[in-house]
Chain A
Amino acid sequence: MDDAMLEIRGASVSYGAVRAVSDLDLTVGAGEVVAVLGANGAGKTTTLRAITALVPYAGSIRFDGDEVSAVGTEELARRGLIHVPEGRHIFGSLSVHENLLMGLPARAGRTGGYTVDDVYDLFPPLVALRNRSGWALSGGEQQMVAVGRALVAAPRLLLLDEPSLGLAPIVVAAVYRALREVAKTTPMLVVEQNTGAVLDLCDRGVVLADGRQVVEGTAAELGGRRDLLDSYLGQRVLDEAEA
């Protein structure tokens, strides 16, 4: 793919003796939405952290053709690589509105995309919470703020780490409805355990297990959900339960 915005070639990440990601290849092209699926501990979060240069890696990860470790976390964000971390990480001491405004430093002069008002339109419940402190929000509200904050930065590529984590289904539905809207204009790399939700969103997906890519395919191909469940829940799954 020539127009790849993000290009990962043979990337590995180790924590001490533990190898969290092994020899991963992955590209995300302009206008594409890619899902990364896998069990707890398969290396999904680590992959995203390596992409935004939060952890050292071996191999090559390029954004816009530049090696991300050389660009650095803060500059990557200003170039439009926006990472919504797992667990949202809302700024607890800032209000909802201020959290949304925190998208502005990374916007760095880019025009277009969502304004803060657009975000309130996308997530109407946030209007009433405008002045509430971040730490007083529920998980669903936090997720809306986190996604909204990222959108205000006018992302050129959006990295989302488990946007459904710990959310009630109805909230997941709301978040994903917004994400489908966003996906019309913004490429994304979404790490997710919630297969059902993310396969509706993405164009294609890869499945990680033990830090390696084990399955790759279009959203439709990955639709057969049984083997995905296998990859989530352990090594040899469900034979008894199905019997």
Chain B
Amino acid sequence: MSASEPGTTARPEAGGPGPAAGPAEPPRPPAFRGHPYLLILAVLAGLYLVRLWRTEGLAEENLFNTWLFMSCLVVGFWFVFGVAGQFAFSQAAFAGLGAYTAAWMTGNDHPFELAVVVAVLVCVAVALVFALLVRRAEHLYFAIATLGLSEVLLLVFRSWEGFTGGGELTNIAPISLFGWEVSGPDRDQRAFWLFLGLLGLLLALATALQRSPVVREAIAVRDKPLVAASAGLPGVRIRATFLALGSGIAGLTGAFLVHWRGSVTTEQFGVDLGLAVFLMLILGGMHSKYGPLLGAWFYVYVEHGLRDSSDYLEFLEDGPLHGVYTFSENLDQYWPILYGSVLVVVMIALPDGLVGIGSRLAHRLTGAGGDARSTGPLARLGLTGLGDVAARLRRGRAAAPAPAPDRPGPPGAAAPAGPDTTTPATTDTTTPATADTSAAGPADEAAAGASARAEPAGVSSPPAGPGSESLAAAGGPAGSPPAKGEGGGSAVQERAPAPAGAVLTARSIGVSFGGVRAVDAVDLTVGRGEVLGLIGPNGSGKSTLLNAMTGVVPAEGTLEVAGAPVPLGKPPRVRRAGLGRTYQTPQTFTALTCIENVLLGVPDRRRMGIVAGAVARPLVLADERRRWAAAQAALERVGLPDHAERPAAGLSHRDQRLLELARALVGEPKVVLLDEPSAGLNATETEELCALLTGLRAEGLSLLVVDHKIDFITELCDRVVVLELGRVIAEGDPHGIWSDQRVVDVYLGVPPEPADADAVDVEAVP
């Protein structure tokens, strides 16, 4: 990257050799501020007090320990589903795998400590192999595959005599950690300490990872996998890592469980427990690491409470229900009805679980309009889940800022919204939600539906919608528009010479959706420091061409970036080669803060994994400081210097566009593809954007700009290519191109030829 010219915006140097900007150490990234671990200690202390206060007798103590144990298991699942969004039913089966592995080890006279380690390793290994096998499975396929895996594991537990004794094992040695045994008269007391410690460790691990890059990347991969891939994130690896982490924790808790209980049966780890794990996480709140604690409390104690409520039910039987219904003797039989119903009700009415209620209350109490994720006392205690919750609440209600881009001519890329967009809306997080909820019933639902299915359309889903950005194949030569390169003299004819030292060279790019040839053998070059404009009417294939070059739609052709060939169809590769992009409908990650959005684009991927995030904190901090400085510099470069710690959810349209640009810039691209950057911006904002982009060009960056605004294109671009029906029909100087009759025609539409009756025969219509 070339140094900034003296004339352009002063900014701290980001990508230079020195890691830090200036002598003063940059501030700690917010993820490294505050004392979230204090909250964990407080929670643990609270648990201890509750136990002192409420728990008497063996049964109660046992129940309390079960609660803690379940919490541990579900915290593991929180990593899998809550953070990485993976629909896995296998958590219970992995607990079983850990349990039987550890029991086999101790049964063969290995020490318990070793047994636990081996159990965890076995689970991690199986999870990794499984995750790699099903790496291409999404959503339902993944869910079903994990169900299948569970069945296979359960069958192994039942059938492999040598390993599991046919499923039923008794007389398993007690837990013994370096001489400290969970046995004898104060067995339950010790088990309590053990599980409390385990829970503390897991929560601390969760906190550490939330404060390292890995969780933010997992959230990005979860929420918008294609955009994340285009930003360079290794989606498969991240998903596999989190499945392995959660499964390893399941194995760990399973190993402790069997040695605590002293016996094990296969049924304990059946699908029922798998579902229960889901229930606990969802009921507690899947977006907070404390959710599992609440969900497990409900699961363990409400079932128990039901068992104890026979007096009340007898009253019902003698009174209002006399002769109508007799309750079952075993009241806990009713339990699954309750929790099944709760599952449905929670899904309908309470998508953020019990923690969600708490956080809404907290928001109301503190009156905090802002997002608790990164500011405020709650955040300093590490209640980062709350930010996610708030963001989800906003997203959940219909379609907040993203309008239905499903149909092109996007209403959202629409309408410079006048005064609305000029005032930064970032301080106000509640307005969009309320505005949406006030909207009418059925129509509201329609909007929600539209936006739900519209989500991937922003990056154009190939087979499903030939409608978006589709065009005529212009098949036979008969009906095709003027072939490129010939005909129609004028300014356009003097094609600007392809600049020497092309940064981007695309040859014969073609994309077909079903029978529609959306892009047809397009050649493009962008020179170093050049701004190439790409214009054409709606549906002429501009966005599809960008999607083809960045690898998110299948395409043919070849691509070279700075002379090196880049394979099509692999977004992270394209990104690493130096091709950044923005989207027609801004694609930001609303569950993250602004700077986290930008950090996703940082190419430096040192120590991004789970192990480093958990163990090598000082090193990660140093890396994060460097990345943070680069991201902050990128934010400053696009004119959002104060936005770092604001949630991306509340941004104005303009700021979302700038944020995307910052995410592209931080990757130190050689060329950035901008898809309608001025859409939705008013005149002033468009001029500011133009100035910003001109400044970037002055720094040596190349740009490929798709846009509709003639002033913007004329002022910004060195050269313009006109696309129509997926082909290049004209190319030239931005001032001259508008007087080309073909260009005027394609924009206004050529008036229909006088109709001779059968001008349209089968051959002529492609």
Direct contact of A and B (CB under 8 A): yes
Interface residues of A (CB under 8 A from B): 13-22, 39-46, 49, 53-57, 69, 72-73, 85-90, 92, 124-125, 128, 132-142, 144, 161-162, 164-174, 176-177, 192-198, 200, 210-211, 225, 228-229, 232-238, 240-242
Contact B470–A141 (Cβ < 8 Å): no
> Residue-by-residue, is B535-549 near A (CB-CB < 8 Å gives 1, otherwise 0)?
001111100000000
Q: Give the chain B neighbours of A124 by CB distance below 8 A.
A: 758, 760-762
20 of the cross-chain contacts (CB-CB < 8 Å) are A17-B653, A18-B414, A18-B680, A20-B412, A42-B414, A45-B407, A45-B411, A55-B446, A55-B447, A69-B442, A72-B442, A86-B467, A125-B761, A134-B514, A135-B514, A166-B541, A168-B481, A168-B766, A193-B538, A193-B749
Q: Name the A residues within 8 Å of B755 (CB-CB).
A: 173, 177
Q: Which of A165, A174, A236 contacts B711 (CB 8 A)?
A: A236
B430 in contact (CB, < 8 A): no
The yes or no answer to B400 lying at the interface (CB within 8 A) is yes
Contact B473 A138 (CB under 8 A): yes
Instruction: Please judge, given known A-B contacts A40-B679, A168-B479, whether A196 and B748 are in contact too, CB under 8 Å.
Output: yes
Are B479 and A18 in contact, CB atoms less than 8 angstroms apart? Answer: no
What is the chain B residue whose CB lies nearest that of A123?
Answer: B760
Instruction: Tell me if A18 and B752 are in contact (CB < 8 A).
Output: no
Task: Assess the A40–B432 pair: CB atoms within 8 A.
Answer: no
Measured CB to CB, the closest approach of chain A to B715, in angstroms, equals 10
- Please state if A137 and B515 are interface contacts (CB–CB under 8 Å): yes
**Which one of B31-39, B433-441, B631-639 contacts A?**
B433-441
Task: Report if B396 contacts A (CB, 8 A).
Answer: no
B566 interface contact, C-beta 8 A = no
Provide the residues of chain A in CB contact with B474, threshold 8 Å.
168
Assess A41 versus B680: contact at CB under 8 Å? Given A69-B443, A141-B765, A166-B471. Answer: yes
Is B714 positioned at the interface, with any CB of A under 8 Å from its CB?
yes
Give me 12 other A-B pairs in contact (C-beta within 8 A), A87-B468, A165-B538, A241-B739 excluded. A14-B435, A16-B402, A17-B421, A41-B414, A55-B450, A138-B472, A166-B538, A210-B415, A211-B415, A233-B747, A234-B708, A238-B738
Residue contact B710 to A43, C-beta cutoff 8 Å = no
Q: How far is the CA of A142 from the CA of B470 in the complex (A)?
A: 10
> Would you call A234 and B711 a contact (CB within 8 A)?
yes
B394-418 residues with Cβ-Cβ distance < 8 A to A are 399-404, 407-418
B470–A88 contact, CB under 8 A? yes
Bound together, the chains give a CA A136 to CA B515 distance in angstroms of 4
Nearest Cβ on chain A to B726's Cβ, whole angstroms: 8
The answer to the question of B466 belonging to the interface, with a C-beta cut-off of 8 Å to chain A, is yes
With A20-B415, A46-B411 as contacts: A241 and B738 at CB distance below 8 Å? yes
Counting chain B CB atoms within 10 Å of each CB, which of A56, A88, A211 scores highest?
A56
The 8 closest A-B pairs by CB, nearest first: A194-B749, A166-B539, A87-B467, A166-B471, A15-B403, A135-B514, A196-B751, A41-B414
B480 proximal to A (CB < 8 A): yes
Bound complex: CA A49 to CA B407 (Å): 10
Q: Which of these, B411, B465, B738, B752, contacts A200 with CB under 8 Å?
A: B752
Residue from A142, A165, A197, A211 whose CB has the most chain B CB atoms within 10 Å: A165
A residues less than 8 Å from B444 (CB atoms)? 56
List, in ascending order, chain A residues with CB within 8 A of B764's CB: 170
**A240 x B714 contact (CB < 8 A):** yes
In the complex, chain A residues whose CB is within 8 Å of the CB of B420: 17-19
Given contacts A18-B680, A55-B404, A124-B761, contact A138 B752 (CB under 8 A): no
- A233 shortest CB reach to chain B, Å: 4
Q: Is the CB of B747 within 8 A of A140?
A: no
Contact A125 B683 (CB under 8 A): no
In whole angstroms, how far apart are the Cα atoms of A7 and B513 in the complex? 38
Check if A42 sits within 8 Å of B467, measured CB to CB.
no
Note all chain A residues with C-beta closer than 8 A to B736.
Answer: 241
Give Cα A21 to B412, complex, Å.
11
Please, which residue of chain B has its CB at the minimum distance from the CB of A15? B403
Q: Does B192 contact A (CB under 8 A)?
A: no
A22 to B416, CA, bound (A): 12
User: Is B488 interfacial (CB 8 A cutoff)?
Assistant: no
Cα distance A33–B417 in the bound complex, in angstroms: 30
Which of B409, B470, B739, B758 has the most chain A CB atoms inside 10 A of its CB? B409
User: In the bound complex, what is the Cα–Cα distance between A28 and B395 (angstroms)?
Assistant: 36
Interface residue from A92, A164, A171, A238 paired with B466 (Cβ < 8 Å)? A92
Flag if B766 contacts A138 (CB, 8 Å): yes
CA distance A124 to B762 in the complex (A): 8
Closest partner residue, chain A, to B446 (CB atom)? A54
> Are the CB atoms of A136 and B759 closer together than 8 Å?
no
Is B749 a contact partner of A15 (Cβ separation < 8 A)? no
Q: For B408, B420, B515, which residue has the most chain A Cβ atoms within 10 angstroms?
A: B515
CB contact under 8 A between A125 and B416, given known A18-B680, A197-B751, A228-B748:
no
Q: How far is B472's CA from A142's CA once the two chains are assembled, in angstroms?
A: 9
Query: What CA separation (Å) do A68 and B253 show in the bound complex?
Result: 57
Look across to chain A and name the residue whose beta carbon is closest to the beta carbon of B726: A166
- Is B380 on the interface with A (CB-CB < 8 A)? no
Q: Is the C-beta of B290 less than 8 angstroms from some C-beta in chain A? A: no
Docked-complex contact A42 and B470, CB < 8 angstroms: no
Q: Indicate whether B652 reaches chain A with its CB closer than 8 angstroms.
A: yes
A141 contacts which of B401, B421, B447, B515 (Cβ < 8 Å)? B515
Q: What separation, in Å, do the CA atoms of A172 and B745 have in the docked complex?
A: 13
Q: Which residue of B is nearest A211, CB measured? A: B415
A73 to B711, CA, bound (A): 39
Please tell me if the beta carbons of A135 and B752 are within 8 angstroms of each other in the complex.
no
Q: A173-B753, A211-B414 are in contact. Are A138 and B475 (CB under 8 A)?
A: yes
The answer to whether B403 touches A20 (Cβ under 8 A) is yes
Interchain CB contact (< 8 A) of B418 among A19, A44, A232: A19
Write out the residue numbers on chain A whose beta carbons fall within 8 Å of the beta carbon of B761: 124-125
Contact A41-B410, Cβ < 8 Å, known A141-B765, A196-B752: yes
B709 contact from A166, A196, A233, A240, Cβ within 8 A: A233
Residues of A within 8 A of B475 (CB): 138
Cα-based distance from A242 to B538 in the complex (angstroms): 24
Contacts of B400 on A, CB cut-off 8 Å? 16
B401 adjacent to A69 (CB under 8 Å) = no
Which residues of chain A come closer than 8 Å to B766, judged between CB atoms? 138, 140-141, 168, 171
Query: Quick one: closest B residue to A173, CB to CB?
Result: B752
- A194/B735 in contact, CB under 8 A: no
B746 → A minimal CB distance (Å) = 9
Interface centre among B402, B403, B749, B750 (most CB of A within 10 A): B749
Interface flags for B493-511 (1: CB within 8 Å of A; 0: not) read 0000000000000000000
Residues of A within 8 A of B652 (CB): 17
B516 sits at the interface (CB 8 A): yes
Q: Is B271 on the interface with A (CB-CB < 8 A)? A: no
A18–B470 touching, CB < 8 Å: no
Which of B414, B444, B473 neighbours the largest number of chain A CB atoms within 10 Å of its CB?
Answer: B414
Q: How far is the CB of A175 from chain B (nearest CB, A)?
A: 9
Q: Is the CB of B470 within 8 A of A53?
A: no
**CB-nearest residue of chain B to A139:** B472
Q: Which residues of B contact A229 (CB under 8 A)?
A: 744, 747-748
- Which residues of B sit under 8 angstroms from A54, Cβ to Cβ? 443, 446-447, 450
Q: Is B372 an interface position by the 8 A CB rule?
A: no
Tell me whether B204 is interfacial, beta carbon within 8 Å: no
Q: How would residues 689 to 713 of chain B score, 1 for a CB under 8 Å from any chain A CB and 0 otherwise? A: 0000000000000000000111110
Within 8 A of A (CB), among B651-666: 652-653
Residues of A contacting B412 with CB < 8 Å?
15, 18, 20
B537 with A193: CB separation less than 8 A? yes
B710-A237 in contact (CB<8A): yes
Residues of B within 8 A of A168 (CB): 472, 474, 479-481, 725, 766
Q: Which residues of B (458-495) have their CB < 8 Å from a CB of A?
A: 463-475, 478-481
In the complex the two chains form, is B470's CB within 8 Å of A43's CB? no
B289 at the interface (CB under 8 A from A): no
Whole-angstrom CA separation of A7 from B468 in the bound complex: 29
B517 close to chain A: CB less than 8 A: yes
The residue on B at minimum CB distance from A196 is: B751
Cα A168 to Cα B759 with chains together (Å): 14
